[in-house]
A = this chain, B = another copy of it.
Amino acid sequence: MTTTAGDHRYLQVARALRKEIVDGVYPVGSQLPTEHELCERFAVSRYTIREALRRLRDDNLVASRPRAGTLVVPRPSTNSYAQDVMSIDDLLAFAQGARFAIETNAMTTVDDALAERTGLSPGTEWLAASGFRRVDDDTAPVCRTEYYINRNFAAVGRLLQRHSGPIFPLIEDLFGVSVSEVHQEISAVVLPPDLAQRLQVQAGTAALQMQRTYTTSDGEIAQVTVNTHPSARFRHAMTLRRVRE
């Protein structure tokens, strides 16, 4: 008698919906029936429906928004046939060798100028640390680095001096959160005189400014980092490779 019954109801529902989505019953962009309607159709509780939909969301088949319903999202295989193999660690590799000398390290309130630069909300408090990164103590700095760290994780501030690599693993280890997303923006700037002097380059030199925002799985911003590299000493390189599915 258990022949028809596979596993667990919510898996059966998930399978059924998945099949209908790939069969085109619910084409990309269309709305799935509401959870209530699905409850009636499958004669199960809302818990079961939601558990099934959670599986479909985990597979990036659908996306749900309050009031907007649950809609079928385009399959990632159509036009975005490229995926890259760069890891977050590659992204940070450049920082490995250099030593970070802290100059400032204090709680700061985000003003409008900083908010504009970093995207942080004005008025919020962050641990701000800044300094210069160099490979040798005697050579010119590689870059100027600014950290803005979520106050909840400000305890890492004490470790910054001794630490040399990227610091978000520190936050992960100390607080048990995991960074699920890193957003990076790269822009070109002309160095102002004071900063040029500190970086030991001529005023008017171009610099690459790389800003990274680290977001935890809770959707909370853990850290924002701004690196300013004189153009002569830095070039950002990455390689995308197509992978078969």
Binding site for B on A (CB under 8 A): 1-2, 4, 11, 14, 18-19, 21-22, 55, 58-61, 75-76, 79-91, 121, 150, 152, 169, 172-190, 204-208, 217-218, 220, 229, 231, 234-242
Q: Are B1 and A121 in contact (CB under 8 A)?
A: yes
Q: Are B239 and A176 in contact (CB under 8 A)?
A: no
Q: Which B residues touch A177, using CB under 8 A?
A: 18, 59
Q: Are A182 and B59 in contact (CB under 8 A)?
A: no
Q: How many copies does the complex hold?
A: 2
Q: Which B residues touch A217, using CB under 8 A?
A: 55, 58-59
Q: Which B residues touch A87, using CB under 8 A?
A: 80-84
Q: Complex: how many Å from CA A21 to CA B221?
A: 21
Q: Which B residues touch A86, using CB under 8 A?
A: 83-84, 240
Q: Are B22 and A181 in contact (CB under 8 A)?
A: no
Q: Which residue of B61, B181, B207 is within 8 Å of A188 (Cβ)? A: B207
